[in-house]
Amino acid sequence: MNFRLIAAGAAAAFALTGPVIAAEGSTGASTLRALGAHIQLHIGTAAIPSDLSDPTLSQITAEQFSVLTPGNEMKWQVVEPEQGNFNWTGADNLVNFAEANHQRVRGHTLVWHNQLPNWLTQGVANGTISNDQLRDLLHQHITTEVRRYRGRIWQWDVVNEMLADSNPSQVKPTDFWISHLGTGILADVFRWAHAADPDALLCYNDYNIAGEDGSNAKFNAALTLVKSLLSQRVPIDCVGDQGHLDLQFGFNPILMSQDLQAFANLGLKVAITEADVRTFVETTDSSQTPIVSRTDLTPNHTADPAAADWYNGMLQSCLAVKACISFTVWGFADAESWVPGTFAGEGDADIYDVNLNTKPQYTALQQTLSLATGAPKRGDHDRD
Ligand code: XIL
Protein backbone atom coordinates (compact mmCIF):
# COMPACT_ATOMS: atom_id res chain seq x y z
CA MET A 1 0.00 0.00 0.00
CA ASN A 2 1.28 3.47 -0.77
CA PHE A 3 0.92 5.23 2.56
CA ARG A 4 2.35 8.48 1.15
CA LEU A 5 -0.53 8.94 -1.27
CA ILE A 6 -3.11 8.29 1.40
CA ALA A 7 -1.53 10.83 3.74
CA ALA A 8 -1.32 13.41 0.97
CA GLY A 9 -4.96 12.83 0.09
CA ALA A 10 -6.06 13.29 3.67
CA ALA A 11 -4.06 16.50 4.04
CA ALA A 12 -5.28 17.93 0.74
CA ALA A 13 -8.85 17.41 1.75
CA PHE A 14 -8.36 19.96 4.53
CA ALA A 15 -6.65 23.08 3.27
CA LEU A 16 -6.59 25.29 6.34
CA THR A 17 -5.48 28.58 7.58
CA GLY A 18 -6.19 28.26 11.28
CA PRO A 19 -7.45 25.94 13.95
CA VAL A 20 -10.53 23.89 13.21
CA ILE A 21 -12.95 24.31 16.01
CA ALA A 22 -14.65 21.05 16.81
CA ALA A 23 -18.37 21.49 16.47
CA GLU A 24 -20.71 20.13 19.09
CA GLY A 25 -20.64 16.36 19.07
CA SER A 26 -18.23 13.79 17.78
CA THR A 27 -19.07 13.28 14.15
CA GLY A 28 -17.94 14.53 10.74
CA ALA A 29 -15.16 17.11 10.86
CA SER A 30 -15.03 16.82 14.66
CA THR A 31 -13.99 13.18 14.84
CA LEU A 32 -10.60 12.44 16.34
CA ARG A 33 -9.32 11.05 13.05
CA ALA A 34 -10.47 14.07 11.04
CA LEU A 35 -8.90 16.49 13.49
CA GLY A 36 -5.68 14.45 13.60
CA ALA A 37 -5.54 14.40 9.80
CA HIS A 38 -5.11 18.17 9.72
CA ILE A 39 -1.74 17.79 11.39
CA GLN A 40 -0.89 14.35 9.97
CA LEU A 41 -1.13 12.74 13.37
CA HIS A 42 -2.82 9.37 13.18
CA ILE A 43 -5.26 8.65 15.99
CA GLY A 44 -5.70 4.99 16.73
CA THR A 45 -7.38 2.42 18.90
CA ALA A 46 -6.81 -1.19 19.80
CA ALA A 47 -9.66 -3.23 18.37
CA ILE A 48 -11.02 -6.59 19.43
CA PRO A 49 -13.39 -8.59 17.23
CA SER A 50 -16.57 -7.01 18.66
CA ASP A 51 -15.24 -3.55 17.74
CA LEU A 52 -15.37 -4.65 14.11
CA SER A 53 -18.67 -6.55 14.13
CA ASP A 54 -21.04 -4.84 16.56
CA PRO A 55 -22.89 -2.12 14.63
CA THR A 56 -22.39 0.71 17.15
CA LEU A 57 -18.85 -0.20 18.12
CA SER A 58 -17.74 -0.67 14.54
CA GLN A 59 -19.19 2.68 13.57
CA ILE A 60 -17.13 4.38 16.26
CA THR A 61 -14.05 2.34 15.30
CA ALA A 62 -14.35 3.44 11.69
CA GLU A 63 -15.37 7.05 12.26
CA GLN A 64 -13.04 8.10 15.05
CA PHE A 65 -9.75 6.39 14.24
CA SER A 66 -7.32 6.30 11.34
CA VAL A 67 -5.12 3.48 12.62
CA LEU A 68 -6.04 0.17 14.27
CA THR A 69 -4.02 -2.19 16.46
CA PRO A 70 -5.34 -5.71 16.98
CA GLY A 71 -5.81 -6.09 20.75
CA ASN A 72 -4.98 -9.79 20.59
CA GLU A 73 -5.57 -11.13 17.11
CA MET A 74 -1.98 -11.01 15.88
CA LYS A 75 -0.42 -12.52 19.00
CA TRP A 76 1.27 -15.90 18.57
CA GLN A 77 -1.21 -17.68 20.87
CA VAL A 78 -4.04 -16.62 18.58
CA VAL A 79 -2.44 -17.08 15.17
CA GLU A 80 -0.90 -20.51 15.83
CA PRO A 81 -2.90 -22.19 18.60
CA GLU A 82 -1.51 -25.60 17.66
CA GLN A 83 1.85 -26.06 16.07
CA GLY A 84 1.55 -25.67 12.31
CA ASN A 85 -2.18 -24.98 12.58
CA PHE A 86 -2.83 -21.32 11.81
CA ASN A 87 -5.83 -19.15 12.54
CA TRP A 88 -5.63 -15.85 10.72
CA THR A 89 -9.35 -15.06 10.86
CA GLY A 90 -9.22 -12.28 13.42
CA ALA A 91 -6.09 -10.71 12.00
CA ASP A 92 -7.41 -10.86 8.44
CA ASN A 93 -10.71 -9.32 9.56
CA LEU A 94 -8.92 -6.45 11.21
CA VAL A 95 -6.66 -5.69 8.25
CA ASN A 96 -9.61 -5.92 5.84
CA PHE A 97 -11.75 -3.68 8.05
CA ALA A 98 -8.94 -1.15 8.26
CA GLU A 99 -8.42 -1.05 4.53
CA ALA A 100 -12.14 -0.76 3.84
CA ASN A 101 -12.19 2.27 6.14
CA HIS A 102 -8.96 3.87 4.89
CA GLN A 103 -7.18 3.11 8.12
CA ARG A 104 -3.61 2.00 8.72
CA VAL A 105 -2.60 -0.93 10.91
CA ARG A 106 -0.11 -1.24 13.76
CA GLY A 107 0.92 -4.89 13.89
CA HIS A 108 1.13 -6.13 17.49
CA THR A 109 3.21 -8.02 18.56
CA LEU A 110 5.92 -10.45 17.42
CA VAL A 111 8.26 -11.04 20.35
CA TRP A 112 6.68 -10.97 23.81
CA HIS A 113 6.75 -13.22 26.87
CA ASN A 114 2.94 -13.20 27.17
CA GLN A 115 0.19 -14.86 25.16
CA LEU A 116 2.47 -17.48 23.68
CA PRO A 117 0.89 -20.75 22.56
CA ASN A 118 0.90 -23.57 25.11
CA TRP A 119 2.57 -25.99 22.71
CA LEU A 120 5.54 -23.61 22.59
CA THR A 121 5.95 -22.83 26.29
CA GLN A 122 5.26 -26.44 27.32
CA GLY A 123 7.66 -27.78 24.73
CA VAL A 124 10.39 -25.51 26.04
CA ALA A 125 9.58 -26.40 29.65
CA ASN A 126 9.65 -30.16 29.09
CA GLY A 127 12.74 -30.08 26.91
CA THR A 128 11.13 -31.27 23.68
CA ILE A 129 11.94 -27.91 22.12
CA SER A 130 15.66 -27.09 22.33
CA ASN A 131 16.99 -23.53 22.29
CA ASP A 132 18.15 -23.97 18.68
CA GLN A 133 14.67 -25.14 17.70
CA LEU A 134 13.11 -22.27 19.64
CA ARG A 135 15.19 -19.80 17.67
CA ASP A 136 14.11 -21.42 14.39
CA LEU A 137 10.47 -21.37 15.48
CA LEU A 138 10.68 -17.67 16.31
CA HIS A 139 12.33 -16.94 12.97
CA GLN A 140 9.58 -18.88 11.20
CA HIS A 141 6.82 -17.19 13.22
CA ILE A 142 8.08 -13.70 12.40
CA THR A 143 8.65 -14.50 8.75
CA THR A 144 5.26 -16.15 8.27
CA GLU A 145 3.24 -13.44 9.97
CA VAL A 146 5.08 -10.40 8.66
CA ARG A 147 5.14 -11.79 5.11
CA ARG A 148 1.43 -12.58 5.21
CA TYR A 149 0.61 -8.90 5.77
CA ARG A 150 3.53 -7.48 3.79
CA GLY A 151 2.72 -4.01 2.47
CA ARG A 152 -0.39 -3.76 4.65
CA ILE A 153 1.14 -2.96 8.05
CA TRP A 154 2.34 0.55 8.81
CA GLN A 155 4.15 -0.10 12.09
CA TRP A 156 5.05 -3.44 13.67
CA ASP A 157 5.66 -3.80 17.41
CA VAL A 158 8.50 -6.26 16.84
CA VAL A 159 9.64 -6.49 20.47
CA ASN A 160 7.30 -5.84 23.38
CA GLU A 161 8.05 -5.26 27.09
CA MET A 162 11.62 -6.51 27.32
CA LEU A 163 12.80 -4.15 30.10
CA ALA A 164 12.75 -4.66 33.87
CA ASP A 165 10.60 -2.52 36.20
CA SER A 166 13.57 -1.72 38.43
CA ASN A 167 15.98 1.11 39.09
CA PRO A 168 18.33 0.81 37.36
CA SER A 169 16.49 -1.06 34.62
CA GLN A 170 17.88 -3.34 31.91
CA VAL A 171 16.82 -5.98 29.42
CA LYS A 172 15.27 -8.64 31.68
CA PRO A 173 17.69 -11.59 31.93
CA THR A 174 14.75 -13.71 33.08
CA ASP A 175 12.53 -12.88 30.09
CA PHE A 176 11.39 -16.03 28.29
CA TRP A 177 13.20 -15.08 25.08
CA ILE A 178 16.34 -13.64 26.65
CA SER A 179 16.83 -16.52 29.07
CA HIS A 180 16.69 -19.05 26.24
CA LEU A 181 18.24 -17.18 23.35
CA GLY A 182 20.38 -14.41 24.87
CA THR A 183 20.17 -10.65 24.24
CA GLY A 184 21.57 -11.05 20.72
CA ILE A 185 18.14 -12.29 19.65
CA LEU A 186 16.82 -8.71 19.81
CA ALA A 187 18.97 -7.67 16.84
CA ASP A 188 18.02 -10.79 14.91
CA VAL A 189 14.27 -10.39 15.25
CA PHE A 190 14.31 -6.87 13.80
CA ARG A 191 16.42 -8.14 10.89
CA TRP A 192 14.03 -11.03 10.28
CA ALA A 193 11.01 -8.72 10.35
CA HIS A 194 12.72 -6.29 7.96
CA ALA A 195 13.52 -9.09 5.53
CA ALA A 196 9.85 -10.13 5.57
CA ASP A 197 8.49 -6.60 4.96
CA PRO A 198 11.09 -3.96 4.10
CA ASP A 199 8.51 -1.14 4.09
CA ALA A 200 7.03 -1.60 7.55
CA LEU A 201 8.22 0.65 10.38
CA LEU A 202 9.70 -1.62 13.05
CA CYS A 203 9.22 -0.56 16.67
CA TYR A 204 10.36 -1.39 20.17
CA ASN A 205 7.25 -1.09 22.40
CA ASP A 206 7.06 -0.92 26.19
CA TYR A 207 5.30 0.74 29.13
CA ASN A 208 6.79 3.37 31.47
CA ILE A 209 9.64 4.21 29.09
CA ALA A 210 8.81 7.92 28.87
CA GLY A 211 9.17 8.91 32.50
CA GLU A 212 6.06 7.25 33.93
CA ASP A 213 8.15 5.27 36.42
CA GLY A 214 9.08 8.53 38.15
CA SER A 215 12.80 7.81 38.08
CA ASN A 216 13.28 7.64 34.29
CA ALA A 217 15.17 4.37 34.92
CA LYS A 218 13.19 2.48 32.32
CA PHE A 219 13.59 5.30 29.80
CA ASN A 220 17.36 5.15 30.32
CA ALA A 221 17.34 1.41 29.72
CA ALA A 222 15.20 1.80 26.58
CA LEU A 223 17.55 4.49 25.27
CA THR A 224 20.56 2.24 25.90
CA LEU A 225 18.81 -0.64 24.15
CA VAL A 226 17.82 1.25 21.02
CA LYS A 227 21.24 2.96 20.80
CA SER A 228 22.89 -0.43 20.95
CA LEU A 229 20.59 -1.77 18.21
CA LEU A 230 21.26 1.28 16.04
CA SER A 231 25.02 0.92 16.52
CA GLN A 232 24.70 -2.65 15.19
CA ARG A 233 22.86 -1.24 12.17
CA VAL A 234 19.70 -3.08 13.17
CA PRO A 235 16.63 -1.94 11.18
CA ILE A 236 14.68 -0.33 14.02
CA ASP A 237 12.54 2.69 13.08
CA CYS A 238 10.45 3.59 16.07
CA VAL A 239 9.84 3.46 19.78
CA GLY A 240 6.32 2.99 21.10
CA ASP A 241 5.48 4.16 24.58
CA GLN A 242 2.36 2.29 25.65
CA GLY A 243 0.99 5.01 27.91
CA HIS A 244 -0.95 2.88 30.38
CA LEU A 245 -1.38 5.39 33.20
CA ASP A 246 -2.94 4.96 36.63
CA LEU A 247 -4.19 7.94 38.61
CA GLN A 248 -2.70 6.53 41.83
CA PHE A 249 0.80 7.10 40.41
CA GLY A 250 2.46 10.25 39.09
CA PHE A 251 2.63 11.50 35.53
CA ASN A 252 4.75 14.30 34.11
CA PRO A 253 3.88 15.20 30.50
CA ILE A 254 6.94 17.40 30.14
CA LEU A 255 9.24 14.55 31.04
CA MET A 256 7.28 12.35 28.67
CA SER A 257 7.80 14.71 25.76
CA GLN A 258 11.50 15.15 26.62
CA ASP A 259 11.94 11.40 26.62
CA LEU A 260 10.05 10.98 23.35
CA GLN A 261 12.26 13.72 21.88
CA ALA A 262 15.39 11.89 23.07
CA PHE A 263 14.32 8.81 21.08
CA ALA A 264 13.52 11.07 18.14
CA ASN A 265 16.99 12.63 18.38
CA LEU A 266 18.40 9.21 17.48
CA GLY A 267 16.53 9.45 14.18
CA LEU A 268 13.65 7.25 15.35
CA LYS A 269 9.96 7.89 15.06
CA VAL A 270 7.93 7.64 18.24
CA ALA A 271 4.32 6.81 19.04
CA ILE A 272 1.96 6.54 21.95
CA THR A 273 0.66 3.04 21.36
CA GLU A 274 -1.70 1.93 24.15
CA ALA A 275 -2.96 4.99 26.02
CA ASP A 276 -5.46 4.59 28.83
CA VAL A 277 -5.81 6.12 32.30
CA ARG A 278 -7.23 3.84 34.95
CA THR A 279 -8.45 4.47 38.44
CA PHE A 280 -10.18 2.69 41.30
CA VAL A 281 -13.90 2.28 40.80
CA GLU A 282 -16.76 1.16 42.96
CA THR A 283 -18.01 -2.27 42.15
CA THR A 284 -21.03 -4.31 43.06
CA ASP A 285 -18.53 -6.91 44.22
CA SER A 286 -17.99 -5.64 47.75
CA SER A 287 -15.03 -7.94 48.34
CA GLN A 288 -12.99 -5.83 45.91
CA THR A 289 -11.27 -8.99 44.80
CA PRO A 290 -10.16 -9.00 41.17
CA ILE A 291 -13.03 -8.09 38.93
CA VAL A 292 -13.39 -10.65 36.24
CA SER A 293 -16.72 -9.57 34.88
CA ARG A 294 -16.82 -6.23 33.19
CA THR A 295 -20.47 -5.65 33.94
CA ASP A 296 -20.10 -5.40 37.71
CA LEU A 297 -18.54 -1.97 37.47
CA THR A 298 -20.38 1.03 38.79
CA PRO A 299 -18.10 3.87 37.84
CA ASN A 300 -19.04 7.18 39.41
CA HIS A 301 -16.80 9.11 37.05
CA THR A 302 -15.55 11.43 39.78
CA ALA A 303 -12.04 10.89 38.48
CA ASP A 304 -12.90 11.72 34.89
CA PRO A 305 -11.52 15.29 34.92
CA ALA A 306 -8.18 14.10 36.31
CA ALA A 307 -8.03 11.28 33.77
CA ALA A 308 -8.97 13.71 31.00
CA ASP A 309 -6.06 15.91 32.05
CA TRP A 310 -3.65 12.98 31.78
CA TYR A 311 -4.99 11.88 28.40
CA ASN A 312 -4.50 15.45 27.31
CA GLY A 313 -0.98 15.45 28.75
CA MET A 314 -0.04 12.35 26.78
CA LEU A 315 -1.44 13.77 23.57
CA GLN A 316 0.35 17.09 24.13
CA SER A 317 3.60 15.20 24.79
CA CYS A 318 3.21 13.54 21.43
CA LEU A 319 2.23 16.76 19.66
CA ALA A 320 5.33 18.49 21.04
CA VAL A 321 7.54 16.00 19.21
CA LYS A 322 7.48 16.20 15.44
CA ALA A 323 8.59 12.58 15.11
CA CYS A 324 5.52 11.38 17.03
CA ILE A 325 3.48 9.75 14.28
CA SER A 326 0.50 8.20 16.03
CA PHE A 327 -1.49 8.38 19.24
CA THR A 328 -3.38 5.18 19.97
CA VAL A 329 -5.78 4.41 22.81
CA TRP A 330 -5.95 0.81 24.07
CA GLY A 331 -9.62 0.40 23.27
CA PHE A 332 -12.11 3.23 23.48
CA ALA A 333 -15.02 1.85 25.52
CA ASP A 334 -15.09 1.14 29.24
CA ALA A 335 -17.32 -1.87 28.69
CA GLU A 336 -14.61 -3.53 26.62
CA SER A 337 -11.52 -2.47 28.53
CA TRP A 338 -8.79 -4.91 29.54
CA VAL A 339 -8.32 -2.94 32.79
CA PRO A 340 -11.00 -4.46 35.09
CA GLY A 341 -9.85 -7.97 34.24
CA THR A 342 -6.21 -7.13 34.89
CA PHE A 343 -6.05 -4.61 37.74
CA ALA A 344 -8.14 -5.47 40.78
CA GLY A 345 -10.74 -2.82 41.54
CA GLU A 346 -9.73 -0.52 38.69
CA GLY A 347 -11.54 0.65 35.59
CA ASP A 348 -13.03 3.79 34.04
CA ALA A 349 -9.89 3.94 31.90
CA ASP A 350 -11.29 4.81 28.49
CA ILE A 351 -12.70 7.70 26.50
CA TYR A 352 -16.26 6.33 26.08
CA ASP A 353 -18.37 5.13 29.00
CA VAL A 354 -20.13 1.78 29.32
CA ASN A 355 -23.10 3.18 27.37
CA LEU A 356 -20.82 4.42 24.60
CA ASN A 357 -21.23 8.07 25.46
CA THR A 358 -18.12 10.19 25.08
CA LYS A 359 -16.47 11.11 28.38
CA PRO A 360 -14.43 14.20 29.34
CA GLN A 361 -11.41 12.10 28.34
CA TYR A 362 -12.70 12.11 24.75
CA THR A 363 -13.48 15.82 24.82
CA ALA A 364 -9.97 16.59 26.08
CA LEU A 365 -8.40 14.81 23.12
CA GLN A 366 -10.86 16.41 20.72
CA GLN A 367 -10.18 19.92 22.01
CA THR A 368 -6.44 19.54 21.99
CA LEU A 369 -6.46 18.18 18.44
CA SER A 370 -8.82 20.91 17.38
CA LEU A 371 -6.55 23.61 18.76
CA ALA A 372 -3.49 22.01 17.17
CA THR A 373 -4.89 22.13 13.65
CA GLY A 374 -3.26 25.50 13.01
CA ALA A 375 0.18 24.06 13.82
CA PRO A 376 2.73 23.28 11.11
CA LYS A 377 2.36 20.05 9.13
CA ARG A 378 4.19 17.08 10.55
CA GLY A 379 5.52 15.58 7.29
CA ASP A 380 4.97 12.12 5.88
CA HIS A 381 5.54 9.11 8.03
CA ASP A 382 6.84 6.46 5.73
CA ARG A 383 10.10 4.66 5.97
CA ASP A 384 12.83 6.90 4.47
C1 XIL B 1 -3.86 -7.09 26.61
C2 XIL B 1 -5.23 -7.27 25.96
O3 XIL B 1 -5.88 -6.02 25.89
C4 XIL B 1 -6.05 -8.25 26.75
O5 XIL B 1 -7.28 -8.52 26.11
C6 XIL B 1 -5.27 -9.55 26.96
O7 XIL B 1 -5.99 -10.42 27.79
C8 XIL B 1 -3.91 -9.26 27.55
O9 XIL B 1 -3.22 -8.32 26.75
N10 XIL B 1 0.45 -4.38 26.93
C11 XIL B 1 0.36 -4.90 25.67
C12 XIL B 1 -0.92 -5.44 25.17
O13 XIL B 1 1.32 -4.78 24.89
O14 XIL B 1 -0.75 -6.47 24.24
C15 XIL B 1 -1.79 -5.91 26.31
O16 XIL B 1 -3.06 -6.27 25.78
C17 XIL B 1 -1.93 -4.83 27.37
C18 XIL B 1 -0.57 -4.48 27.93
pLDDT along the chain (384 residues), means of 10: 42 45 74 96 98 97 98 98 98 98 98 98 98 98 99 98 98 98 98 99 98 96 98 98 96 98 98 96 54 51 92 98 98 93 90 93 97 72 64
Which element (helix H / strand E) includes 43? strand 42-47
- pLDDT at residue 299, as a whole number: 61
Using CA positions, which residue lies closest to atom 13 of ligand 1? 160
Q: Which of 161, 212, 336, 346 is catalytic?
A: 161
Helix, strand or coil for residue 223?
A: helix
Q: Residue 291's pLDDT is what?
A: 40
Residue 338 near ligand 1, beta carbon < 6 Å: yes
What does the pLDDT read at residue 27?
Answer: 80
Atom of ligand 1 nearest to the CA of 331: 3
The span from the CA of 354 to the CA of 366, in Å, is: 19
State the burial class of residue 77 (Cβ atoms within 10 Å of its Cβ: 0-12, 13-18, 19+): middle
Q: In the annotation, is 24 catalytic?
A: no
Query: Residue 77: CB within 6 Å of ligand 1?
Result: no
**What residues contact residue 40 under an 8 Å CB cut-off, 6+ apart?**
7, 10, 11, 377, 378, 379, 380, 381
- H/E element, 220: helix 217-231
Single-letter code of the amino acid located at 9: G
Contact 239, 222 (CB under 8 A): yes
Mutation pick for ligand 1 pocket among 112, 330, 334, 339 (CB with most ligand atoms within 8 Å): 330
- Name the residue of 72, 110, 204 to mutate for ligand 1: max ligand atoms within 8 A of Cβ: 72
Query: CA-based angle 32:35:37, to the nearest 5?
Result: 105
Domain borders along the chain are 32-372
- CA gap 179, 250 in Å, rounded: 32
Fold of 32-372: TIM Barrel (3.20.20)
Give yes or no for residue 241 CB within 6 A of ligand 1. no
> How high is the pLDDT of residue 243?
98
The secondary structure element, H or E, covering residue 92 is: helix 89-100
pLDDT of residue 333: 95
What is the predicted pLDDT for the residue at 271?
98
Closest by Cα among 376, 363, 344, 217 to 304: 363
pLDDT value of residue 293: 42
Residue 315 CA: distances (Å) to CA of 104, 209, 362: 19, 16, 11
